[in-house]
Structures are given as structure tokens and as C-alpha cells.
Amino acid sequence: MDAQTLRDRAGSIAWYHSMDLGQGVQTRGISDARRGLKRLQIPDLHGKTVLDVGAWDGFYSFEAERRGAARVLATDSFSWDGGGWGRKDGFELAREALGSKVEDRNIDVLELSPENVGTFDVVFFLGVLYHMRHPMLALEHVASVTKELLILETEVDLMLTRSPAAAFYPDVELNEDPTNWWGPNPAAVVGMLRAVGFERAEVVWKRPLAMRAGKWAYRTARRRGEPLMRSLRNDRCVFHAWKG
């Protein structure tokens, strides 16, 4: 398709991911995933099979393909079914525009199994865990389809507590969003990953306490502040978990 047609089609979609569709067309998503790529510490994917769980617009699926993955499967259900404000339109347009061979499967996290989707060398589970009503069960299903490495990014809470613990959000306590259920702390996430069968799990990225305080000061100065203690205990973290 020509650039103007692509621009018009992209402009009619409510994007979650900001991404480059080629021909000078950039989507205007609420999440600029490009800024956080280094945090994920994605290894060499050449020749690897990759599963992207909760793909939404597919930024990470297409990034895996760009990095040489032999096969990429993108899965989602909540976003693609329109359960929130998301739809599948963005993923489908991006795949067409990029000439991508990324496969897709509309399937819930709790339906993932080797029988349903197979197993994959590397699995992305990014920005999904804290939306799960049953996080341990979700991790069991994700672990069952992971052959080598799981890369997990999630909201965490209670970061000032060293022992494994998790905050429960029964209403809209986290970001005024009723789909947010749990905020485990880093120790809890590592423990959960080991409990579901990963031999080794560790935090590969988290913002130091001083940086979280600085983030709070910056937001407060811009009148988008929140209580200091919440900023110190609540953030995002990236984890790697290995099989074998």
C-alpha cells in the first residue's frame, strides 16, 4: 500500500504500541516500547522460536522477527477480543505493512499448553502478569511452553519488603484500572518462577531506590505527582528465568 493509505489506516486505530510501520509512518501509541527495549536484555534470537504472550499490537513480536527469530507466534485474547479498549486491528495492519511472517493465535494465557501451541525457545511475557487474577496458574501455563528462556516484565509493588510478598488490588488501586490485580515484589516473582519449574530466575533490570525517588520528584514538579511511598515501593521490573 502507498504511504498515504497506510497513514490513513494507522490514524483510524487506537494504538497501544508506538512503532515504525515503514514509509515514514509512526503509530502514536500510549506505550513507546522502543524506549524500554534495552531493559529486556533480549539475547541473540537468530534461529530461535519465539512466543509473544499478550502481544496486543505486536511490537515485540515484530522486533523478535527483525532480530532473526526463525519463527514467531503472537498470542492474545483480552486485547484482540476488545475486552478492554484494545483491538487486533493494529497487529494486523502492522503485519501487513511490515511484510511480516509473524503467526498469530487468539488464545488466553490459561489455555497455553504444549498441546495447544507447542513449545518455544524464548517466551516473552511482558506487561501481563499483574493483570492475571491467578498469577501462579498463569505462570504454570507459560512455563509449560518455555524450552529455554522466559523474559518477564511486570508491575511490582512492596519493593521495600525483602521477603516475598504481593499487593492485592481488589478495585482500581493501581492506576485506576480494574484489570490490575496483583503487585508482587521482586522476591515473590523470583520465587514464583522457581516454583513453577524454572531452574534459575533473577531480576535483570529494576530502577534503584534513588532513581525511583527522582522519578517521584520529576512527576511532582510537573504536577503529576503521587505519594512518595508509593513511588518508592511501586515500579516495573524485568526478570529472566531459565530452563535447564
Average pLDDT estimate for 15-39? 90
52-78: per-residue pLDDT in tens? 999 999 999 999 999 999 999 999 999
206-221: per-residue pLDDT in tens? 987 666 666 656 666 5
Cell of 37: 527495549
Query: What pLDDT score was predicted for residue 62?
Result: 97
**Band of residue 33 on the pLDDT scale cut at 50, 70, 90:** confident
Is residue 156 packed enough to be buried (19+ CB in 10 Å), middle (13-18) or exposed (0-12)? buried
Query: What pLDDT score was predicted for residue 34?
Result: 87
Range 3-242 classified under CATH 3.40.50.150: yes
Give the long-range contacts of residues 174-177, CB within 8 A, separation 24 or more: 174/130, 174/234
How far apart, in whole angstroms, are the C-alpha atoms of residue 188 and residue 48? Answer: 29
pLDDT surpasses 60 at 135: yes
154-212: per-residue pLDDT in tens? 999 998 899 999 999 998 777 778 888 899 999 999 999 999 999 999 999 998 766 66
Hey, where are the domains in the chain? Answer: 3-242
Instruction: From residue 28, give the alpha-carbon distance in Å to each of 8, 31, 82, 195, 220.
Output: 13, 9, 19, 39, 25
How far apart, in whole angstroms, are the C-alpha atoms of residue 201 and residue 175? Answer: 28
How far apart, in whole angstroms, are the C-alpha atoms of residue 100 and residue 236? Answer: 30
Q: Residue 212 carries which DSSP code?
A: H
How far apart, in whole angstroms, are the C-alpha atoms of residue 137 and residue 7? Answer: 41
How far apart, in whole angstroms, are the C-alpha atoms of residue 210 and residue 161? Answer: 16
Task: Report whether 183 contacts 152 (CB < 8 A).
Answer: no
